[in-house]
Amino acid sequence: MQPYHACRHAQGAHNWHRLVHWNPAENMIPFARMHGSGNDFVVIDDRGGRLRANRRSLAKALCDRRRGLGGDGLVLLGQGAPGHVGMVYVNADGNDGEMCGNGAGCAIRRAWEIGLFSGRHTILDTDAGAIAADLAGFRVTMTMTDPKDERLHLSIPTSEGTLTGHYVDTGVPHVVIFVADVAPVNVGGLGPEIRHHPLFPRGCNVNWAGRIGDNAFRMRTYERGVEAETLSCGTGATAIALIAARLGLAKPPVRILASGGGELSISFDESPASKMSATGTSASETSVGAFRNVRTTVEVERIAEGVLDKDWLARRDLAIAAA
């Protein structure tokens, strides 16, 4: 089975390369290991839907960093609405995730690589909603679903005292806590406390953000579903940018430096003012504008690709029916 190579020339003389190993006559499951700003994933073409039923067990096995491929989550590419690409995202712990920003960026790039769409534009269907995407080489700009359920200035009791956090759903639920410096934050200790706090019945991702310049922040994230600190979080970076703007700390575009070393850019518009709760209760309402056209840009890379070993699958009771 021989790889094939194809080259496209993007605007600005960038080379776009394809390298895909695939023989539909063989019952193999090709995969790609990819990352966005250090947030890493296993990405698999599942247009036939044969992996869907076992996706939770498959995600846990594949994302194991010792016995599997390793990753923060599993991305299954599939059929979306007509003309769209579909994505199912499964966290490393085996639980479905509504959305993952960096995972979506990897899904879009991989979908282009294997020919699910041509050109620069597509729409990715996720459990959080449809996301319009623009691909420019390894940079992916996504128009995110509209944020919702903002709750500002929440008092969150923790083992290290009461912290002030701000909540917003940017496709998945996030809490943002601003600090002078993210480096000394006890993410491993405080993250699980806040992620499971009764204030957030769905659970949440927990983001700490420290300002490093005009409209620029450094972030650290404890991620729901991974149940550990991750090196980046696309929806978390988006949440930080929006909350910073809401509090008057930044204006778009906002740069977010992930702990993995990558940089994300978030731009957005604000519609005319409407009523919202400043504290998450009906007792205190303020007039604010709603955020619209939220656009998150991430840079993604393919690390490696190959096929899953049939014996490895069988030993985990994950044998997959022939396509």
Asked if residue 319 is part of any domain, the answer here is: no
For the stretch 104-128, pLDDT in tens is 999 999 999 999 999 999 999 999 9
The per-residue pLDDT for 271 is 77
284: in domain: yes
Would you say residue 149 has pLDDT above 80? yes
**Mean pLDDT, to the nearest integer, of 116-143?**
96
32 and 73 belong to one structural domain = yes
- 70/84 same-domain check: yes
Residue 271 lies in a domain: yes
Q: What is the pLDDT of residues 169-184, one digit of tens each?
A: 999 999 999 999 999 9
188 with 137, same domain?
Answer: no
User: pLDDT: is 284 or 90 the higher one?
Assistant: 90
Full residue range of the structural domain in which residue 295 is found: 148-299
Q: How many domains does one find in the chain?
A: 2
| Arithmetic mean of pLDDT, 88-113 | 97
Please say if the pLDDT value at position 21 is more than 70: no
pLDDT band for 274, please (50, 70, 90 cuts): low
8-22, 68-82, 143-157: least confidently modelled range: 8-22
Same domain, 168 and 293: yes
**Percent of the chain scoring above 90 in pLDDT:** 81
Cα 197-201-207 angle, rounded to 5 deg: 55
Is the pLDDT at 9 greater than 90? The verdict is no
Q: Are residues 83 and 166 in the same domain?
A: no
**113 within some domain:** yes
Nearest CA among 161, 190, 185, 150 for reference residue 281: 150
> Taking phi first (over 0 means left), then psi (-120 to 50 degrees means alpha), and beta for anything else, what does residue 203 get?
left
Q: Would residue 322 count as lying in a domain?
A: no
Least confident window among 12-21, 27-36, 228-237, 249-258: 12-21
Catalytic annotation present for 106 = no
Q: Are residues 258 and 176 in the same domain?
A: yes
Residue 320 placed within a domain: no
User: Is 104 a member of any domain?
Assistant: yes
Task: List the beta bridge partners of residue 167.
Answer: 151, 175
Same domain, 164 and 275: yes
Q: With contact defined as beta carbons under 8 Å apart, do 90 and 97 qualify?
A: yes
Q: What is the reported pLDDT for 26?
A: 57
Looking at the fold, whether 115 and 178 belong to one and the same domain comes out as no
Q: At what angle do helices 101-113 and 234-246 cross, to 10 degrees?
A: 130
> Does 202 share its domain with 61?
no
Give the Cα separation of 18 and 3 in Å (integer): 9
Catalytic status, residue 100: yes
Stretch 144-149: mean pLDDT: 95
pLDDT score recorded for residue 28: 81
Q: Are residues 35 and 54 in the same domain?
A: yes
Q: 0.95 exceeded by the pTM?
A: no
pLDDT at 266 over 70: yes
As a residue count, the chain comes to 323
Q: Is residue 227 part of a domain?
A: yes
Do 181 and 225 share a structural domain? yes
The answer to whether the beta carbons of residues 94 and 56 sit under 8 Å apart is yes
| Active-site entry in 63, 106, 204, 233 | 233
What CATH number is associated with residue 77? 3.10.310.10
The catalytic position among 63, 100, 106, 204 is: 100
